[in-house]
Structure 1
């Protein structure tokens, strides 16, 4: 961290534009993770942040579950560890799915998307464009449109059959989606999008097969 983002050693105050507080908090979390269980004094010495500022930041981080306290020592909290696990599982999913969705797109000519629920919102994680692009972009991080087959696959828990949107959301475009169970009631989805009011039967089978392949790769990893 640049010294300009740290608290002033004389006054113990942070920049009031918000950036100094956030960057100091992340700097502090880095040191907690590296030194845990760690005392407040050692955190102040390691981070260069004044002791009273460290104390104030720790109280705020404890309040949101990012840090936990055991007597005079501090550790990373459960909410931060859970967030890290979620990010790791999504990265693992993207790695496992990358080749299967590319091969599905190549074999069918369809646009193929990988999506998941993040923070209660359905978003795209990865996408491969159609052989003949038709102008629908599913950029990673973009929300999955509601009522589409992909959105329903993420929210209709327990569904294992392919879900179809036959031109019901976007005229003359059809979508097939299959849920990918990740455990603990969490699901992702692989979906295919083609021009036409009804997807070919082969697309349903291909999409379902790719979903099963991704599940197998996740179990084997």
Structure 2
């Protein structure tokens, strides 16, 4: 259960979208893994076209890149681990909750086309080592429409209900920990009753001695 808790714990830290701003994230990983990051913006009441729209141009996609007609305001981040340095850029809004809009991050390719994004790279190196480490994230560039906004940076967990990093599959069953607890109780109750029965059944009067 402890390993499952560690593997499924996401880390969320505040980030100010100003060039030069940075955050340090302490991390603990059971196995080496790839850092998966996303930006959380306040949803608000009014539409937020400055965050882009997840409407890809299928005709332009070539299997190596994604193309969006409305990519949203630019966000570039430098992400540094103990073994690598990557430049990431924010995709258009790809998810939403009751109060937030989320933008994923992918590797930045300086090709001069603001509508073209690299595919999320599943084969990226495991730059987060096993055990304790730190992730340093700094803002390199941000569009005028969202400059100065306070958002949240989320480091996704190594394991989710649907998708997990390699080596974590054996922990998946612990999503159903209440069922496991019930099974343990059902198995333990007869043992407790048997133990009590044996203890009290072995009692009695000691034989009389001459």
Q: Which bracket does the TM-score occupy, shorter chain normalised?
A: under 0.3
Structure number with the higher strand fraction is: 2
Greater CA radius of gyration, 1 or 2? 2
TM-score by length of 2: 0.26
Structure number with the higher helix fraction is: 1
Question: Quick one: higher RCO (CA 8 Å, sep 6+), 1 or 2?
Answer: 2
